Chains A and B, each alone.
Chain A
Amino acid sequence: MADHSSARGAPAAKGSAPPRKTSFLNDQRVRGVLYQILTIGAVVAVGWYLVHNTLTNLAARDIATGFGFLDREAGFDISESVIEYSPADTYGRVLLAGLLNTLKVSIIGIVLATLIGTIIGIARLSNNWLVAKLSSVYVEAMRNVPLLLQLFFWYAIIGVALPHPREALEPVEGWFLSNRGFRFPYPVWETGWTLAVIGLVLAAVITWWLNKRAARIQGETGRRPNVLIPGIALFIGLPVILWALGGAPTAIDVPEMAGFNFRGGASVSPEFAALLLGLTLYTAAFIAEIVRGGILSVHYGQTEAAVALGLKRGLVMRLVLLPQALRVIIPPLTSQYLNLTKNSSLAIAIGYPDLVATANTSINQTGQAVEGVAIIMATYLTVSLSISAFMNWYNSYIALRGGRS
């Protein structure tokens, strides 16, 4: 603060004014600390009141508290699970199965929504009138219809528009589409198949290396070797070779009708399909707008300068526009990822056994509402914070490479 004791340049006729006494309560720093103490105090008080009240009420109703119920037998079945699960398993395991179902639909949804959203966002900026218009219609339609309604819509489409298993559509032999979901042949698992999967991973690693090498060779000679064709060859060739080396297993579990439903093969349930479709298409519309806004935020002079150098449109997008747009895109994109993950809890409305659905049933059966809700909240918080942390890291990684503008 200003130094009052030295009235610089002022005639000292009446003597300089005495330093004004300021209460220490007027000190900015003191006030800052004070506000923080008050805030913490208020939060603790409210929290204590709630916990105390809850415990008293629970005790009055004879409901045991604690997480002991997690080890008890759940006794209810769920329609699908990534891990082995039977009603004889514990509540802990059914919640884990629910969490994995949530993660499954969220992760696949995030990947697909990002792909579709980016394509639609760029398409909306297209010079082609029809492409741009169609993308706008998509975005407006998806954004303006509540997600829950869309989930019901997709679920109904699958349930009503698709035939019964007996008259299932069979676009390719052994691949069935019916109101019980999608069923397709799946190999009987043997070493050969494991090796084939290893082949796929190897192909990915080698292609990644080829890509790095291509960049290096481009640096040295100016010509970038083609990676696409060797890449495709690797992705097909390596799994096939390893599969053959592993004894070339050919036994395939083909789904077939048995009574009223299919037996064998692998399946995608109508609930999962509807939830994934709904979440993906809905979120993609928002991502499209974010991508479009990001690209538009880059000054038009950037495109002109790049084009004037002779760069083709695709390269302008990839080398000049997208890297700059990404900095604008990433923060709101993170929110969309979080939204998609949290929106996946609408699964309960169409009967997909996600975390909320399984926790809900557990709460109903045990009465442990506080613990159940606490588990849901803690889990979503952990997942959300993980997504945020990853995106923040990615954002700063990009920012580091970009410098300021």
Chain B
Amino acid sequence: MSNGIEPTQTTVEPSVDAPKTPAMGEEVVIRLDNVNKWFGHFHVLKDINLDVRRGERVVVCGPSGSGKSTVIRCINRLEEHQQGDIIVNGVTLTNDVKAIEAIRKDVGMVFQSFNLFPHLTVLENLILGPIWVNKTPRKEAVDTAMYYLERVKIPEQASKYPGQLSGGQQQRVAIARSLCMKPSIMLFDEPTSALDPEMIKEVLDVMVELAQEGMTMICVTHEMGFARSVADTVVFMADGQIVEKNSPKELFANPQEERTRQFLSQIIQH
């Protein structure tokens, strides 16, 4: 306890002090069972075991290059793992194209670099998936899109092109684009790392709200304020392994591993 670290001086605190209202369920929606992955000869993921329950909010942190992105990209098969099992919503990820498409439909993903489609307007970005993947009637898709644009507080930008928006607005559109697919799970890969400090908060606010509604989320992020206020579980990764996993309170106050301690002191100092 003596050298416990209180992560209070993080750069950005979400404005909403999130009461962790909806309790997570018992049902495991994502299971990684002894997952191993190599890039050529490089062993990037080593025996990853992780269960995520419905409604659970998991924050993954760790030094750069530790395999955080690779883990979550394996969950929707943007990367292929070579050993072990990944089971999402009861479906085991194999090379079965249908299973992969079904999982991708139900798992939203937000990238560090937004990856909006620059040739489509904001609205068109939002309705592309619903129309072509879910076969939603256009009018319904537009209604849903406008609903989520309201939710991320930029309905007035609907007819603009992504290049005309600020980074924070683009990332909020990207979140809305994922939500329009009505996913049950959301993956975030450092959603605020490419943003100027003054825009980080507007994106975190949206994520906090989502968390409060009980969305199952896995977020790779170094926003420790966010982790502390909304996460149920914080996973610390280093060198392709899960070093430590605990509730944010425990992990921050009482890290069990030396590596965790080092890492936390580094990111919390500045």
Contact with A along B169-187 (1 / 0, CB 8 A): 0000010011001000000
Q: Which one of B101, B119, B133 contacts A403 once the chains associate, using CB atoms below 8 Å?
A: B119
Distance from B128 Cβ to chain A, minimum over Cβ atoms (Å):
6
Residue A50, interface by CB 8 Å: no
B177's closest neighbor in chain A, by CB?
A309
Knowing A307-B78, A310-B104, the reply to whether A301 touches B118 (Cβ < 8 A) is no
Chain B residues near A222: list those with CB within 8 A. 131, 134-138, 140-141
Q: Which one of B101, B128, B138 contacts A220 once the chains associate, using CB atoms below 8 Å?
A: B138
Residue B83, interface by CB 8 Å: no
Q: Which one of B76, B119, B129 contacts A323 once the chains associate, using CB atoms below 8 Å?
A: B119
Residue A135, interface by CB 8 Å: no
Knowing A310-B104, A403-B161, the reply to whether A305 touches B135 (Cβ < 8 A) is no
Contact with B along A297-309 (1 / 0, CB 8 A): 0010110111111
Query: How far apart are the CA atoms of A305 and B197 in the complex, in Å?
Result: 24
Taking a contact as CB atoms under 8 Å apart, the answer to whether B131 and A305 are in contact is no
Taking a contact as CB atoms under 8 Å apart, the answer to whether B119 and A401 are in contact is yes
Distance from B264 Cβ to chain A, minimum over Cβ atoms (Å):
30
A216's closest neighbor in chain B, by CB?
B138
Query: How far apart are the CA atoms of A317 and B105 in the complex, in Å?
Result: 18
Residue A311, interface by CB 8 Å: yes
Chain B residues near A402: list those with CB within 8 A. 118-119, 161
Q: Which one of B108, B109, B118 contacts A324 once the chains associate, using CB atoms below 8 Å?
A: B118
Residue B132, interface by CB 8 Å: yes
Residue B116, interface by CB 8 Å: yes
Contact with B along A313-325 (1 / 0, CB 8 A): 0010001100110
Taking a contact as CB atoms under 8 Å apart, the answer to whether B104 and A308 are in contact is yes
Chain B residues near A404: list those with CB within 8 A. 118, 161, 163-164
Interface of chain B: mostly helix, strand, loop or mixed:
mixed
Instruction: Give the interface size bracket for A toward B.
Output: 20 to 34
A223's closest neighbor in chain B, by CB?
B135
Residue B246, interface by CB 8 Å: no
Residue B167, interface by CB 8 Å: no
Residue A219, interface by CB 8 Å: yes
Chain B residues near A365: list those with CB within 8 A. none
Chain A residues near B270: list those with CB within 8 A. none
Residue B115, interface by CB 8 Å: yes
Taking a contact as CB atoms under 8 Å apart, the answer to whether B105 and A310 are in contact is yes
Residue B162, interface by CB 8 Å: yes
Residue B139, interface by CB 8 Å: yes
Taking a contact as CB atoms under 8 Å apart, the answer to whether B101 and A305 are in contact is no
Taking a contact as CB atoms under 8 Å apart, the answer to whether B132 and A221 are in contact is no
Chain B residues near A315: list those with CB within 8 A. 132
Distance from A311 Cβ to chain B, minimum over Cβ atoms (Å):
6
B: which residues have CB within 8 A of A?
76, 78, 101, 104-105, 107-109, 111, 113, 115-119, 121, 128-129, 131-141, 161-164, 174, 177-178, 181
Supply 9 further A-B pairs (C-beta < 8 A) apart from A302-B117, A315-B132, A403-B121. Answer: A218-B138, A219-B138, A221-B137, A308-B78, A308-B107, A308-B178, A311-B132, A324-B117, A404-B164
The 5 listed contacts between A and B (C-beta, < 8 Å) are A220-B139, A304-B111, A310-B133, A315-B132, A323-B119
A: which residues have CB within 8 A of B?
218-223, 299, 301-302, 304-312, 315, 319-320, 323-324, 401-405
Q: 5 tightest CB-CB pairs across the interface, nearest first?
A: A405-B118, A403-B161, A219-B138, A305-B115, A309-B129
